[in-house]
Structure 1
Amino acid sequence: MKTWRRLAIPYLIWGSFMLLLPMLLIVFYSVIQPGNDVATFRFSLSSYVRFFTDRDFLLILWRSLKIAIETTVLCLLIGYPVAYWISRCSQKTQNLMVLIITLPMWINMLVRTYAWIGILSEGGPLSIVLGWFGFHNVDLLYTEAAVLIGMVYNFLPYMILQIHSSLTKMDPSLIEAASDLGASPFQTFWRVVFPLSIPGVISGITLVFLPAISAFFIPKLLGGGGWFLIGNVIENQFITVGEWNFGSAISVIMAMVMMLLMTLVRKADRKASKEEKA
């Protein structure tokens, strides 16, 4: 046991310097303000007060939550049927479909998002297809729809894979028993399949919502600066404006929001697991 603990020491050191120390620095910067002298500083919560008293920043936070919720709902509505269909296929077909879904993830997310600029731009493939159906001169790029398309495209595989993993672990005899007892296909799905897949659904929601609420380059590229989300505000404060204190305060606020959401999701996951065992 002591040997295994010693093997964990390098990871603890790495985690302390690469994970814990940056977080502590962000918290430190968020509660200080520069003093009269360059080398001095003073404790202050003015950055937090500024965020919660400025209507524009609260509006951006609400917009970020709205976009993240819409992305998560769309991923769930699209991902669950796809994951369910894949789980009903043969093992060979499942492996092929999972490979097809994960294949785009081998390419950098930034490159994939850049590709959507060409697809959604005027005269692009999607514009041409819409023209066949009579929809001419439709502005797709630099709109909320473009941001949602980019978000769903990038985060949908996480939802599908989590739900598929949960569905494949399900005991097929439970479905057969429900059918033998006279349950219709819809009743079998709603009372047997869906409740047992809730842990996968919750995991998928977590993996989609958390990165969606803090995304910054997807709205920046596909929104054209017109859809300024909370991730863009943090980037702007650190890189453009140079107000590290205020940027750190926003980062801490978002970290607290994410921790709260993760706690709620974990409680829901535990509740679903207890109901599944019962």
Structure 2
Amino acid sequence: MSIRTRNWLLLAPAGTLFLALLIVPLTVVLVFSFGERAPAGGVVPAFTLEQYANLPARWTAFKNTLTLAPIGTLAALLIAYPLAYFLAVRVDPRWKTILLILVIVPFWTSILIRSYAWMFLLGGRGLPAALEWIGIEGVRLINTPFAVLVGIIYGYLPLMVFPIYVSLDRLDKRLLEASSDLGSPPWRTFLQVTLPLSVPGIATGCMLVFILLMGEFLIPAMLGGGKVFFVGNALVDLFLQSRNWAYGSAVAVALVVVMLITVTAYMRLLNRLGARRDDVAIM
């Protein structure tokens, strides 16, 4: 048996699974997007661009998603990086495991339960009541973009922390000592050594969080109260409520295209930054 044949045989199980669970469903959705809604719901085979022409009707959902998903990803990064840096560089190794478990603990509870907890905290009997008690009245937090953003950060923060933590934990501490011995202040060591070497973790964390946020529907539904609509909420409504599978498929295809364009641009930007960083290191 040749090496090429052996490699194909080894790749066959994973390739078959990839084809069955990803490519085939996406192909079905693409075919449905060119169909029409059946009188009783579902889809009638056809070839029309009517569903794509109606995409502007869901512009609000796309706008909310494309606004809050990047903001939520950036906010999670700004909170996660100091935490990951503290865990990887500053904490005594004896305490790392315990602190990492505390970061994981929220994942042991369903996101549904955690969202209900935030509904209470941001609702009228939660933080607004506490603010009213100290004299700040008329504050409304629930059913707002702020509430959705809080739920997003809380729900996805661990996914941002761990990739960054892994990058920082693998950092050769001798590089930091060498930078300090050469007279660099701590802030310059961080900007020129620590931050560039942790870029792979930042890129992975941002990618994980952003891709999942683009399809999020539970947090906006619960903390947004139907007033902050994501594309995921639109898909749930189109497929399960109005049963307009053709239009829902067109919205899903548009979301996939937007994600592909965004992720491709993001990866190209990272590659350019990596090339510049390598050029500076060589010089």
Query: Superposition pairs for residues 1-278 of structure 1, below 5 Å?
Result: 6=9, 9-33=12-36, 41-51=45-55, 54=56, 56-88=57-89, 89-124=91-126, 126-127=127-128, 129-131=130-132, 133-274=134-275, 275=277
Q: Using the alignment, how far apart are the partners of 2:58 and 2:47 within structure 1? A: 23
Shift of 1:11: 4.2
Shift of 1:10: 4.4
1:215-241 deviation line (CA, Å, top 9, x unaligned): 111111011111112111111111111
Letter in 2 for 1:141: I
Letter in 2 for 1:123: R
Shift of 1:119: 2.0
Checking the alignment, whether the CA contact within 8 Å between 1:35 and 1:42 is kept in structure 2 is no
The 1:8–1:107 alpha-carbon spacing in structure 2 relative to 1, beyond 3 Å, is farther
Kindly, what percent of the aligned residue pairs are identical? 31
What TM-score do you get using the length of structure 1 for normalisation? 0.88
RCO comparison, higher one (Cα < 8 Å, 6+): 2
Shift of 1:73: 1.5
Unaligned runs of 5+ in 2: none
1:15-65 deviation line (CA, Å, top 9, x unaligned): 3333222111101101223699x99632111111211xx3x4223312211
Q: Using the alignment, how far apart are the partners of 2:148 and 2:269 within structure 1? A: 29
What TM-score do you get using the length of structure 2 for normalisation? 0.87
Checking the alignment, whether the CA contact within 8 Å between 1:117 and 1:222 is kept in structure 2 is yes
Shift of 1:256: 1.3
The 1:268–1:97 alpha-carbon spacing in structure 2 relative to 1, beyond 3 Å, is farther
Shift of 1:114: 1.9
Letter in 2 for 1:94: K
Q: Using the alignment, how far apart are the partners of 2:43 and 2:245 within structure 1? A: 16
After superposition, the CA RMSD in angstroms is: 2.5
Letter in 1 for 2:47: F
Unaligned runs of 5+ in 1: none
Shift of 1:156: 0.9
The 1:261–1:226 alpha-carbon spacing in structure 2 relative to 1, beyond 3 Å, is same
